[in-house]
Structure 1
Amino acid sequence: MYEISSRIEGKHFELYKLEQLLKPLGYSIGGNWDYDHGSFDYKIDDEAGYQFLRIPFRAIDGQLDSHGCTVMVGRPYLLSHLYESGLDDHAIVGNTFASFNQFSEPVDKDAGFPEKYVNIGKSLVNELESVLLFD
């Protein structure tokens, strides 16, 4: 993980408006959210895993699934998930409809971030500042 200091850290936004600004730029709401916190992710690359810029946020007024929820943005950071090649040795087999999860577990879900993408991450944060801060 590589943190990037930013002027958006600590700023408050309506979640709906934040989502409307970030989705056209290529961000998606990360899959690891809860009712009081979550993140927007920008996939930078998928070389030997996945490299993301993550913009964390937490609810300060309401829950994330409620209308008019206000969130506070945390410090952006770069994150890398490295995966094993092949099928997962610990696949989950379910009873219903013979479902299973064939995808590999991460080798290192918090792997060090490749240096060659750090400047891209910093540029993305600068872009976010220009889009979100109107000063």
Structure 2
Amino acid sequence: MVPLQSNLENKTYNLYKMEEVLKPIGFVIGSNWEYDHGYFDIKLDDRSTYFFLRIPFEAIAGSLDSPGVTVRIQQPFLLGHQYEEGNDQDSRNGAIQGLVNQFQTPTDPDTEIPKTYIDIGKECIKEVEAALLTPRNESN
């Protein structure tokens, strides 16, 4: 994991409006959200190692499963997961196992992030800042 400095940290937004800005540039809300916090993720590469830029946020007014929730952005970071190439060993038990556990376990869940991806992540943060830090989109 590599933390990235950003002017977005501690800014607050309506989650729906934030989604409207970030989804068109490739971000998705990560599937591991809870009622009080979550992540916007963008995949930077997905060869044998997946590299993601992750923008964490926490609910400060409402809960994430409620309309109109306000969130505060926390420090963005880069994340890498290295996977085994070839057959997915976790699905060797057939279709039933594949339905229950559809994702391969990473061989290195916190792999080193090469400088190239750190630079890409920093550029991506600049793009997000340009999109969100406008008078039209800023909440605070």
> Does the aligned pair in 2 maintain the 1:28–1:42 contact within 8 Å?
yes
Q: Secondary structure at the match of 2:117?
A: helix
Q: Secondary structure at the match of 1:119?
A: helix
Partner of 1:28: 28
Would you identify which runs of 4 or more consecutive aligned residues in structure 1 move more than 2 Å?
Answer: 85-94, 101-104
For structure 1, which runs of at least 5 residues remain unmatched after alignment? none
CA distance in 2, matches of 1:103, 1:41: 17
- Determine whether 1:45 maps to 2:24: no
Q: How many residues align?
A: 132
Higher strand fraction: Structure 1 or Structure 2? Answer: 1
Over 3 Å counting, the alpha-carbon distance change for 1:37 and 1:92 in structure 2 is farther
Partner of 1:114: 114
Report the TM-score when normalising by structure 2.
0.86
RMSD of aligned alpha carbons: 1.9
Q: Secondary structure at the match of 1:120?
A: helix
> Does the aligned pair in 2 maintain the 1:44–1:53 contact within 8 Å?
yes
**Mean Cα displacement is larger for which, 67-76 or 78-87?**
78-87
**What is the CA-CA distance between 1:47 and the residue it aligns to?**
2.5
Partner of 1:57: 57
- Determine whether 1:13 maps to 2:13: yes
Per-residue CA distance 1:71-106 (angstroms, 9 max, x = gap): 000111111111122445455969xxx621364210
CA distance in 2, matches of 1:125, 1:61: 25
Partner of 1:128: 128
Identity of aligned residues (%): 49
Structure 2 residue identity aligned to 1:17: K
Selected match of 1:100 from 87, 97, 100? 97
Report the TM-score when normalising by structure 1.
0.88
For structure 2, which runs of at least 5 residues remain unmatched after alignment? 136-140
